[in-house]
């Protein structure tokens, strides 16, 4: 097959030369696809019939270091200087029906056709033989790249049944590359979204976050392709598979924001679509272990989104900034898109607090628990935080200054009052 010659690095040339007497080495995947489109900003993925152990032996006394990535799948990283190539042994896969969506059997083979069969879309299943400088295109992926089309390698039923995440990758890659989706692949995907039910929330979240920056992925990625991705979410009714109890989400905030954290913008749109009785409880379920499994960042997301809605509900300044001061610098970026007057109101107080160094957190006070113990030796530990909160209220209301001596006097007054 004729095609555009792929230019590779000097180190990759050396690697191919060292292995040429043992096996042909192939480029495969995004690197080949993108080169056909005239750019190459992606990782280098290699494939051959060589097993990890054979590669280690063949490169043992060379500058190339071979590191296992997945022994089961035959994937290693080949490192040299500041370059890294991922190599995978040709393999045949079999999936069980348990819902794990990972191969039950991964058998190393020498037949490139078996390796191509396990891949997802034709545009990702084009091989380039680096040893002989020619393309191997079993599924006519080159033709689909020219047509700018995402299409399943085998029947869509086979592709999506093996791994439901491929439905998400179909959406993501179409949006990142500006491709259309093959009509039959799309129709089958829509009927098989149930295959996402037993995919972990963390794995689904990873794909979702990549989609939210689809317009930033490649130099050719089109503006607002992340909006296209979320529109496809609505069309395919994927949101319920992401623990959102509604079929469609209106993308008001996501369309408004620029390059702030778009996941926060989507969360705001989701809350508006669901209209839960309690935003905080809803987000804890959505982002928690039984939902998207966001991890440590979940608390920050919850604070920011709750802070946004509490501002819309006109929560009092003291209550608001005691709870959300550390997050308001982010919250205001979303608030200004929705209600300019409320943005200006809360932003004025936020800047006032900053400029005048008004305490809004207990740690901002010029007194601590040890100081209170010295002033009130008989105070119980459980009451120290109550005293500190009381002092914080008074300083914020300007009934006290944040001077240590004055704060200690106030603590002693509290002690005298309790003793009397």
The CA distance from 233 to 244, in Å, is 12
Contact at 8 Å (CB) between 317 and 353? no
Contact at 8 Å (CB) between 384 and 369? yes
- ∠ Cα 182 185 189 (to 5°): 135
Contact at 8 Å (CB) between 42 and 31? yes
- Describe the chain by its helix, strand, coil percentages, rounded to 5: 55, 10, 35
Report which of 14, 11, 7 is spatially closest to residue 35, judged by C-alpha positions.
7
pLDDT by position in tens, the chain (length 420): 455 789 899 999 999 999 999 999 999 999 999 999 998 877 899 999 999 999 999 999 999 999 999 988 999 999 999 999 999 999 998 876 655 567 767 789 999 999 999 999 999 999 999 999 999 999 999 999 999 999 999 999 999 998 999 999 999 999 999 999 999 999 999 999 999 998 999 999 999 999 999 999 999 999 999 999 999 999 999 999 999 999 999 999 999 998 788 999 999 999 999 999 999 999 999 999 999 999 999 999 999 999 999 999 999 999 999 999 999 999 999 999 999 999 999 999 999 999 999 999 999 999 999 999 999 988 888 889 999 999 999 999 999 999 999 999 998 887 765 554
The DSSP secondary-structure symbol of 357 reads T
pTM over 0.85: yes
End-to-end CA distance of the chain: 97
Give the position of tokens 């272990």: 289
113 CB neighbour count, 10 Å cutoff: 12
The CA distance from 179 to 198, in Å, is 28
68 CB neighbour count, 10 Å cutoff: 12
Report which of 400, 324, 337, 389 is spatially closest to residue 363, judged by C-alpha positions.
389
Q: Enumerate the β-bridge partners of residue 79.
A: 65, 84
183 CB neighbour count, 10 Å cutoff: 10
The CA distance from 341 to 229, in Å, is 32
58: left (phi over 0), alpha (psi -120 to 50) or beta: alpha
């Amino acid at each position: 097959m004729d095609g555009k010659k792929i230019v590779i690095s000097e180190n990759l040339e050396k690697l191919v030369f060292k292995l040429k007497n043992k096996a042909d080495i192939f480029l495969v995947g995004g690197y080949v696809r993108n080169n056909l489109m005239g750019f190459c900003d992606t990782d280098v993925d290699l494939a051959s019939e060589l097993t990890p152990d054979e590669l280690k032996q063949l490169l043992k006394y060379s500058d190339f270091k071979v590191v296992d990535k997945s022994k089961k799948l035959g994937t290693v990283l080949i490192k040299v200087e500041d370059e890294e190539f991922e190599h995978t042994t040709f393999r045949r896969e079999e999936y069980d029906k348990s819902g794990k969506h990972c191969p039950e059997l991964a058998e190393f083979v020498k037949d490139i056709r078996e390796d191509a069969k396990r891949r997802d879309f034709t545009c990702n299943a084009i091989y380039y033989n680096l040893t002989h400088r020619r393309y191997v295109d079993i599924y006519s992926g080159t033709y689909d790249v020219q047509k700018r089309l995402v299409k399943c390698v085998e029947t869509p039923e086979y592709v999506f049944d093996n791994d439901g995440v491929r439905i998400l990758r179909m959406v993501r890659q179409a949006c990142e590359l500006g491709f259309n989706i093959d009509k039959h692949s799309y129709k089958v995907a829509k009927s098989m979204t149930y295959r996402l039910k037993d995919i972990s929330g963390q794995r689904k979240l990873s794909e979702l976050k990549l989609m939210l920056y689809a317009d930033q992925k490649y130099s050719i990625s089109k503006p607002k392709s992340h909006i296209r991705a979320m529109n496809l979410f609505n069309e395919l009714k994927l949101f319920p598979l992401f623990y959102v109890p509604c079929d469609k989400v209106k993308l008001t905030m996501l369309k408004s924001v620029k390059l702030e954290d778009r996941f926060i913008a989507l969360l705001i749109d989701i809350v508006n679509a669901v209209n839960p009785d309690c935003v905080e409880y809803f987000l804890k379920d959505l982002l928690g272990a039984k939902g998207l499994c966001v991890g440590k960042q979940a608390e920050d997301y919850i604070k920011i989104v709750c802070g946004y809605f509490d501002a819309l509900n006109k929560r009092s300044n003291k209550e608001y900034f005691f709870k959300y001061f550390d997050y308001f610098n982010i919250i205001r970026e979303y608030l200004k898109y929705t209600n300019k007057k409320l943005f200006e109101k809360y932003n004025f107080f936020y800047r006032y607090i900053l400029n005048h160094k008004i305490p809004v957190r207990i740690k901002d006070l010029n007194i601590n628990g040890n100081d209170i113990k010295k002033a009130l030796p008989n105070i119980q530990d459980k009451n120290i935080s109550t005293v500190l909160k009381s002092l914080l209220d008074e300083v914020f209301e300007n009934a006290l200054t944040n001077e240590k001596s004055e704060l200690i006097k106030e603590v002693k007054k509290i002690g005298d009052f309790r003793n009397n």
